[in-house]
Chains A and B, each alone.
Chain A
Amino acid sequence: MFTSVDDVSARLAETGYLASPAVATTVFLADRLGKPLLVEGPAGVGKTELAKAVAAVADARLVRLQCYEGVDESRALYEWNHAKQLLRISAGRDESWDEARTDIFSEEFLLTRPLLTAIRGDEPTVLLIDETDKADVEMEGLLLEVLSDFQVTVPELGTITATRRPFVVLTSNAGRELSEALRRRCLFLHIGFPDEELERRIVRLKVPGLSEALTASVVRVIGALRAMDLRKVPSVAETVDWARTLLALGADTLDEQVVRDSLGVILKHQDDILKAAAKLDLDAL
């Protein structure tokens, strides 16, 4: 899919995703080694966006499995369409039991869910398993077979193997420790906060109307906030939100008044706002 690491960054940048060297390298390796990619990191640094960008670059279909507590086989893998099977049985006439049985357990009555869909397709596919840590431990066991051999076993049909391996991205917020077995099957990528230079480029890309000097100031303030010991440090998403807010407010430089009024956009806890205000020498809030 990609020829080199630079190729990855360049092509991701075309779709509007600016990748750090770590991200580009790992995506390149995931493609080369044919292994799933496990992406961890704080909320709002672009984990899900990465999968979407890769799909756009590779001109592939994006199949998404959103995990939640209680997601199970019938939601993730496949399910038999019971209602249709019943209809088929009652509509059936003079035929033997064997014929009816082989008929109702055929492809026609199979409802494919994301994992099976991604494996069965012939076209290039990016499989995004989002927020894996939200799913139960049992779900991980199910993923193991899919991720190591790219095959799914349906008892009535046999084993279905991928004709074309999908590019798999798993994301996790580290809400729960994923099992060692699952981690071993994946390449691990931690997306942290970008460095100043990269973040400036991201802001300029997403909010082109903001002046260069103001962008630099915004990124510096965000950097200072991240160094503080806050309950929820601002993420890239918040940086972009703040930049948009400043643009909407028509501010052309940062001053105390503007920062004080818009601090709520970047910090989500009252404790954090008070603490940041004290450290940034803003007067009484």
Chain B
Amino acid sequence: MTTPPTPATPSTADTAGAADTADLADSADLADTAGAADTAGVAERLTSLVAALRAHGLRIGTGETVDAARAVEALGLADRELLREGLAATLLHDLGRRRVFDQVFDLYFPRRVGGPEDASSDRDDLRDRLAEALAAGDRALLAMLAAEAVDALGRYGTGAQGGDGGGPGGDGWSSYQTLDRLRPQTLLARVRTSVRERDGATGFADRLLDDEIRRRIEAFRTLVAAEARRRVAERRGAEEIARRAVAPSADRVDFLYAGRDRLAELRRTVQPLARKLATRLAARRRRAARGSIDLRRTLRGSLSTGGVPMKPVLRRRRPARPELVLLCDVSGSVAGFSDFTMLLVQALHDQFSKVRVFAFVNRLDEITPLLVHGTADPEGLGARIRSEATLTAWHGSSDYGVALGEFAERHADSVGPRATVFVLGDARTNMADPNLPAVRRIAARARRVYWLNPEPRAQWGTGDSAAPAYAGLVEMHECRTAHQLSALVARLLPV
């Protein structure tokens, strides 16, 4: 793939590492935004960047901020991508927050100020040029086109008719509107033909072409979103946009409001998360095994030293592998939360002697075997559970009372004195009887019962929520994000 020469527009230099004239022009822009290149301006910009990151839950100390400033000094402002990497290296401590960082960085160190200079392009012209750029796979060109597209198509509010410059009455720029008008996804066939014409059908790798083009289109969509955020931030101030429009990292997303793609992203983190939790559990077990002296083996060992016990032998605890029972509400409202938790527990299954998983909406059914196969194909898990298990009677809304009663009646034998029961659900009974006696019966049989509720604590007990009633019987925890879940699992899982 050949990269065409960098376009002459000063503001499009995005090719990392290339120190050409375009980059120098870029640095002038950057310096402008940073307050005429004076160090006070940069320092102020840096501290407000840090403040915005802190507001998103990143723990950044003063020491790191000072390091970041030294990094800026060492790297200079000449190349924006180097600056981005430098600040990331000094301010971040793990990969999970990189996504948040990149979005905030784009707001505080924007690629340029204002709209692109030749913003006269109309929709068809833009589509033509976009198709070319997608065929070439040129990121710098795509970034420039994203800027132009937002400028030409994304404006809404009173200034919506304005082309170049725009009146101050314009209320903002919308990435949704831009993409809706531009429809980059419909270019797929066209780009495919033009790539094939250029390279010829290159044998085997040709079948990958569609997916590659789709990924490039997806990248273009993120570029448009970033550009729209930047333009809005210019009008309303970076602080507000950084607070409101920057998507949080995946493990801080509320389960109840996470979209399909965020849930898919979360599912990919199950395996690494499970590995981390497993080591944490192992550490807890090691600590728990220290302490009491095995008298018989100590005395036996002392024979070789003439009866003086030189080396105390500690009692090794038999690894009691606990049993785990999961009761999951898989009705529409909390399905994302349940799916994720089930996969996580399944990934941890070798930590336990037995894991049994039951799912319910208003009927209850065991789904352990489904889950064992489900790890190979996590996306299809939810659909498979709903099609293969009997979870609903004549209506489709969740009924905790009936489901818990059914569990206490039919599957009580699965809960032994060594079993820990986790109930996952929002405890919204749709006004039906919460069936507290059933919960009492389960709690009496099990070693511990925990209830993980994906709703914020403030909403417990509002509307049809029976959360306070259940919380009176079993320990209930708020569990809104993957971050909270992993903390809870590490603390609550029996060792």
B234 at interface (Cβ–Cβ under 8 A)? Answer: no
A227 lies within 8 A of B17 (CB) = no
- Docked complex Cα distance between A223 and B1 (Å): 14
B90 at interface (Cβ–Cβ under 8 A)? Answer: yes
Interface residues on B, range: 35 or more
B431 at interface (Cβ–Cβ under 8 A)? Answer: no
A175 lies within 8 A of B93 (CB) = no
B74 — which chain A residues lie within 8 A by C-beta? Answer: 28-29, 32-33
B279 lies within 8 A of A217 (CB) = no
Interface residues of A in 181-196 (CB under 8 A from B): 183-184, 187-190, 196
A24 lies within 8 A of B204 (CB) = no
Interface string of B266-307 (1 = CB under 8 A from A): 001001100110010001000000000000000000000000
- Docked complex Cα distance between A35 and B67 (Å): 10
A180 lies within 8 A of B93 (CB) = yes
B197 at interface (Cβ–Cβ under 8 A)? Answer: no
B203 lies within 8 A of A220 (CB) = no
B94 at interface (Cβ–Cβ under 8 A)? Answer: yes
- Docked complex Cα distance between A188 and B95 (Å): 9
**Assuming A25-B85, A25-B86, is B71 touching A224 (CB within 8 A)?**
no
**Assuming A33-B71, A217-B205, is B17 touching A24 (CB within 8 A)?**
yes
A175 — which chain B residues lie within 8 A by C-beta? Answer: 275-276, 279
- 8 Å CB contact of B208 from A176, A180, A224, A229: A224
Interface string of A221-237 (1 = CB under 8 A from B): 10110010101000000
B276 lies within 8 A of A227 (CB) = no
Interface residues of B in 62-92 (CB under 8 A from A): 63-64, 67, 70-71, 74-75, 79, 81-82, 85-86, 88-90, 92
- Docked complex Cα distance between A242 and B85 (Å): 31
A154 at interface (Cβ–Cβ under 8 A)? Answer: no
**Assuming A21-B82, A256-B204, is B89 touching A223 (CB within 8 A)?**
no
A259 — which chain B residues lie within 8 A by C-beta? Answer: 204
Interface residues of A (CB under 8 A from B): 5-6, 9, 21-22, 24-26, 28-29, 32-33, 35, 40, 137, 174-177, 180, 183-184, 187-190, 196-197, 213, 216-217, 220-221, 223-224, 227, 229, 231, 253-256, 259, 271, 275, 280-281
| Complex A-B: 29 CB contacts under 8 Å | A5-B17, A5-B75, A21-B81, A29-B71, A29-B74, A29-B90, A175-B275, A176-B279, A183-B94, A184-B61, A184-B63, A184-B64, A184-B93, A188-B92, A190-B98, A197-B1, A217-B202, A220-B205, A220-B212, A223-B208, A224-B212, A229-B268, A253-B204, A254-B204, A254-B205, A255-B204, A271-B376, A280-B208, A281-B207
Apart from the given pairs A22-B85, A217-B203, 14 other A-B contacts in the complex at a CB distance below 8 Å: A5-B75, A6-B19, A22-B88, A26-B85, A26-B89, A33-B70, A180-B59, A217-B204, A221-B205, A229-B379, A253-B203, A256-B204, A280-B208, A281-B207
The 5 closest A-B pairs by CB, nearest first: A254-B204, A183-B93, A25-B85, A21-B16, A217-B205
